[in-house]
Amino acid sequence: MTQAAQAHDLKLTKNQHLVLSVLESSRQPLSAYSILDRLRGHGLKAPLQVYRALEKLLEAGRVHRLESMNAFVVCCHSRHGQIHPRITAFEICESCGKVNEFHDEKVESALIQHARSSGFKIRASAIEVHGLCADCH
Amino acid sequence: MTQAAQAHDLKLTKNQHLVLSVLESSRQPLSAYSILDRLRGHGLKAPLQVYRALEKLLEAGRVHRLESMNAFVVCCHSRHGQIHPRITAFEICESCGKVNEFHDEKVESALIQHARSSGFKIRASAIEVHGLCADCH
DNA sequence: AATGGAAAGTTATGTAATAACATTATTGAA
DNA sequence: TTCAATAATGTTATTACATAACTTTCCATT
Ligand SMILES: [Zn+2]
Ligand SMILES: [Zn+2]
Ligand SMILES: [Zn+2]
Ligand SMILES: [Zn+2]
């Protein structure tokens, strides 16, 4: 991700703002189509309008995609303009749907060390743990 | 996963055997539909035939699903009947498509430790690292 | 042979994502 | 300001991924 893409003061377009607002007001990850459903009242009609906004929000580091759910969540650093840690992981509650984004130095160094030892060059990662959150068990 | 499900001498049905054979003979992960395409000559016609076989093979621990690719790979322990490690991770080459399944004690303990500290109870995990393998960079 | 459960077959449908192309809005020189 | 380049939108259609619902076949056990 470029430094420019990390600048959170970048102005969002109308559709990008709409999509981000829906994600911010949700306590669970949302699929592109359920985002669309919530925005039909605001003039959005086609999946592509949502997918294009999501693409930009992903590039800007303001949302994350959960690969194992085909769903999207707002990044917990989205509002602060800080540098985003490299390796991101998620704990996803199968009961209440809550997602905990976290950045664990040990997870990161273990993956980096393994990659180094196997000659693998990391470009991206998806680390998603499913189970029950503290409230739900 | 039950102990029974780990018993690799369990007899596979015709469709399960066909699907597993296709995955074993592929050097890359395959989507359900591309598995189906390779099995049309053997009488398979519908996606469900493949998905049902995959479901059983997943339960039996003989294949893994790559969440970030909507694709499936044969488990590297598939032939040996050994107990499968709890936490599995994958390095996926974006150039040649090769997948390296690995089990890293440090990754595992870091995730378990984080879950403990946040009160999260792990049931399943998807750890998928994308990049370039040693041969490709 | 009768029976019950697992697997397989079949058709239809639901969900996720992108292709292709036309239009409008923004930006940034000349 | 004017105009060309770029970015964003709108729209329709299509492709890719996955499951629902129901029927039939297979096979082991009684
Ligand atoms: Zn984040
Ligand atoms: Zn919960
Ligand atoms: Zn495995
Ligand atoms: Zn490679």
pLDDT in tens, A12-48: 999 999 999 999 999 999 999 999 999 999 999 999 9
CA dist B133 and B92 (Å) reads 8
CB contact under 8 A, A118 and B67: no
CA distances from B45 to A111, A125, B36, B40, B131 (A): 41, 35, 7, 6, 35
Does residue A109 sit in the same domain as residue A50?
Answer: no
Least confident of A112-121, B14-23, B75-84: B75-84
**Amino acid letter, A114:** H
CA dist A118 and A136 (Å) reads 38
Count of C-beta atoms within a 10 Å radius of residue A101 = 17
Task: Indicate the number of domains in chain B.
Answer: 2
Structural domain harbouring A123: 85-137
* DSSP 8-state symbol, A89: E
Instruction: Indicate which CATH number applies to the domain containing B67.
Output: 1.10.10.10
Single out the residue in A63, A78, A93 at which a domain terminates.
A78
**Location of structure tokens 């991206």:** A124
CA dist B83 and B47 (Å) reads 30
Asked whether strand D has any atom less than 7 Å from the CB of A58, the reply is no
**pTM of the full structure:** 0.93
Q: Tell me whether strands B63-66 and B71-74 are parallel, antiparallel or unpaired.
A: antiparallel
Q: What is the pLDDT of residues B27-36, one digit of tens each?
A: 999 999 999 9
What's the pLDDT score for residue A65?
98
Instruction: From A94, A115, A87, A100, select the one nearest B89 (Cα to Cα).
Output: A115
Q: How far is B95 from chain A (nearest CA, A)?
A: 11
Phi-psi sector, B70: left (phi>0), alpha (psi -120 to 50), beta: left
pLDDT at B59 over 90: yes
| Closest residue (CA to C1') to nucleotide C11 in the complex | B46
